[in-house]
Amino acid sequence: MSDATFSPTEPQQRRSPRASDWRLFLRIVPYAKPYAPILWLSAVLLIPLSVCSAVQPILIGQAISLLRNEPTTYNFLRSAGLTTGILWLSGLLLVTLVVRFGLQSWQGYMVSKVGQEITADIRNDLFHHVLSLATNFSIAPLSVV
């Protein structure tokens, strides 16, 4: 345990919220270290998730341009015809949606699993700490009124 523990006599106004949050974050870091590879993988998954999220409005914009008979970035869509171009764009949109949904689900599962395991580790440490405490506390008898 560190020396920076909460003391009930210290007023709350002295500590800034950022310093307190940073201190709490640093206390969780040792619990998160065993799960670092999973946390890194979930952070890396943000890149393809962002790409899929950015591509979707572009595909919709291309479909609108194709429908309005405006110049599009992809000239092969215009030469393929309206129906074929719309099918290609809707297929690409479906692929990006499925990839984004799959990666987002996988990332959410990993982050929740790590969060639950860290919570279980903290609870186990707290349980072992409570069991290690002395049991000979002097308790004043309850008065029955």
Is 80 exceeded by the pLDDT of residue 73? no
Is 60 exceeded by the pLDDT of residue 27? yes
Q: Which amino acid is at 106?
A: W
Q: How confident is the model at residue 136 (pLDDT cuts 50, 70, 90)?
A: low
Q: Counting beta carbons within 10 angstroms of the beta carbon of residue 61, is it exposed (0 to 12), middle (13 to 18) or buried (19 or more)?
A: middle
Q: How confident is the model at residue 132 (pLDDT cuts 50, 70, 90)?
A: confident
Instruction: Give me the pLDDT at residue 30, please.
Output: 93
Instruction: Give me the pLDDT at residue 50, please.
Output: 94
The structure's pTM equals 0.66
Average pLDDT over residues 23-27: 88
Q: How far apart are CA 33 and CA 39, in angstroms?
A: 9
Instruction: Give me the pLDDT at residue 114, please.
Output: 96
